[in-house]
Structure 1
């Protein structure tokens, strides 16, 4: 990892943009709809450290090298991190390509080396992030303390939240009905964890860009991952980092049944047809099975 991504809270904060022109305007548009106060400056004011005092970030844009250097120096004198547009060597940080869903923000950076590539990847990822994702995040933030109080055990709380982000409450939030979403989440919390285990078989030969959205979500929710030898490594990396990894030789039908009965979400990445005997054993044990 050549650059470390970090998120700066913007509520009640100032962002200073020094300079004029299209590049400065583009940086200002990044903060449209955010709770930050955006301050635009140009000319002599851009050279005064006091202009940047208390700001969380500063952006400097323009064609005059002297202006860029003087404004960046003034911002640093005020102990503010500076991005000089299209000048990575003069910058303290680089601006990524941003996917803005309100409380959900995703970003793709290339260390300033290829903004075009970052934009292309941003567009690919954007299709996977629903418009209502920010409302789901807002819902879970609102109920964060209630969830912690009701489920003090960490693994139970994580299990509840993994179900909640795809459950009825999340669907209501996606649709914009926050009152209904809140009631549904409280109802789910009152019922407790009580998860139904499930085994999902996913074709793992690759390439990874052929995976469906359902498959991507299953990998992201997996408690246990069992990948055949020959599964595409890029698909394997899409599973949760903290998912338990088991070798296929370790996993007989009885093992899958036992894990599912514990409420685990199991993903079996396969490169050959599923053994019918395994599916029959799961069905006989009333374990939910999905083939993706």
Structure 2
């Protein structure tokens, strides 16, 4: 990872766009509809440091090299984070291609190496992100505190939220009926998570691009990961970074059954076929086991 992606909250924050021309207008369009306070600067006012004080982000765009030099100096003296289109050597950050669904924002960046590639990839991703995704996220944000209070254990919250994302409350929010969505969400929260712990088997020999969507989602939703030693590194990269991880020596059927009995979701990532004895022991313990046809036929 050559650059770390980060999201800056914009509500009530100052964003400065200095300069004129198409590049400046393109940056301004990025913030249309955002809660940021966008300040446009041109000419001499853009060359004074006080104009940049308190800015969360600064964009400087101009064909005038002298203007760029002086505005850059002024913004830096104010301690601002700066982006200068077409001048990566002056940038503290680069701007990605953005998919904007309100509360849901996805971005594709290439570190300034190929904005066109980022734009093409954005189109692929945008087609997969439903228009109502932002409303679903807004619903979940509304109930964050209630969910934490009702379900203090992290794995219980994850189990509930997994179900809720596929349930009627999320569907109502996606369709735009936020009152109905809220009522359905409260009903579901009162009932609590329905699913018990389980062990999901995923083939991890790689390559990662052969993983099915269900397998990739299982890796992303795991509470505990139990990988074989020879699992493909690219497959492991798709797993939750903060999930608990067992070593191969710890990934015994008895231990997996204990974890699943706590209501947690274990993903067993295999470098080869599943062990029939391990599967039999888990099923004998009453653990729900899911075998995913993880890869396409080779």
Task: Tell me the TM-score range normalised by the shorter chain.
Answer: 0.7 to 0.9
For residues 239 and 204 of structure 1, what CA distance do their matches in structure 2 show?
Answer: 11
For residues 152 and 2 of structure 2, what CA distance do their matches in structure 1 show?
Answer: 37
CA shift in 2, pair 1:21/1:79, >3 Å: same
**Deviation of the 1:30 alpha carbon:** 1.3
CA shift in 2, pair 1:195/1:33, >3 Å: same
Gapped regions of structure 1 (runs ≥ 5): none
Match of 1:182 in 2: 182
For residues 47 and 168 of structure 1, what CA distance do their matches in structure 2 show?
Answer: 54
Q: Is the 8 A contact 2:260 2:287 kept in 1?
A: no
For residues 168 and 228 of structure 1, what CA distance do their matches in structure 2 show?
Answer: 37
For residues 11 and 243 of structure 1, what CA distance do their matches in structure 2 show?
Answer: 31
Match of 1:258 in 2: 258
Match of 2:21 in 1: 21
**What SS is found at the alignment partner of 2:107?**
strand
**Deviation of the 1:56 alpha carbon:** 2.5
For residues 154 and 280 of structure 1, what CA distance do their matches in structure 2 show?
Answer: 29
Match of 2:82 in 1: 82
Match of 1:212 in 2: 212
Match of 1:11 in 2: 11
Q: How does 1:138-157 map to 2 (within 5 A)?
A: 138-154=138-154, 156-157=156-157
Q: How does 1:1-292 map to 2 (within 5 A)?
A: 3-119=3-119, 122-123=122-123, 125-126=125-126, 129-154=129-154, 156-193=156-193, 195-284=195-284, 285=286, 287-292=288-293
Q: Is the 8 A contact 1:257 1:287 kept in 2?
A: no
For residues 274 and 117 of structure 1, what CA distance do their matches in structure 2 show?
Answer: 39
**Deviation of the 1:132 alpha carbon:** 3.2
**Deviation of the 1:264 alpha carbon:** 1.7
Aligned-pair Cα RMSD in Å: 3.0
Q: Is the 8 A contact 2:12 2:35 kept in 1?
A: yes
Gapped regions of structure 2 (runs ≥ 5): 294-298
Q: Is the 8 A contact 1:97 1:115 kept in 2?
A: yes
TM-score by length of 2: 0.82
**What SS is found at the alignment partner of 1:70?**
helix
Q: Is the 8 A contact 1:197 1:288 kept in 2?
A: no
For residues 289 and 59 of structure 2, what CA distance do their matches in structure 1 show?
Answer: 53
**What SS is found at the alignment partner of 1:201?**
strand
Q: Is the 8 A contact 1:261 1:287 kept in 2?
A: no
Q: Is the 8 A contact 2:199 2:265 kept in 1?
A: yes
TM-score by length of 1: 0.83
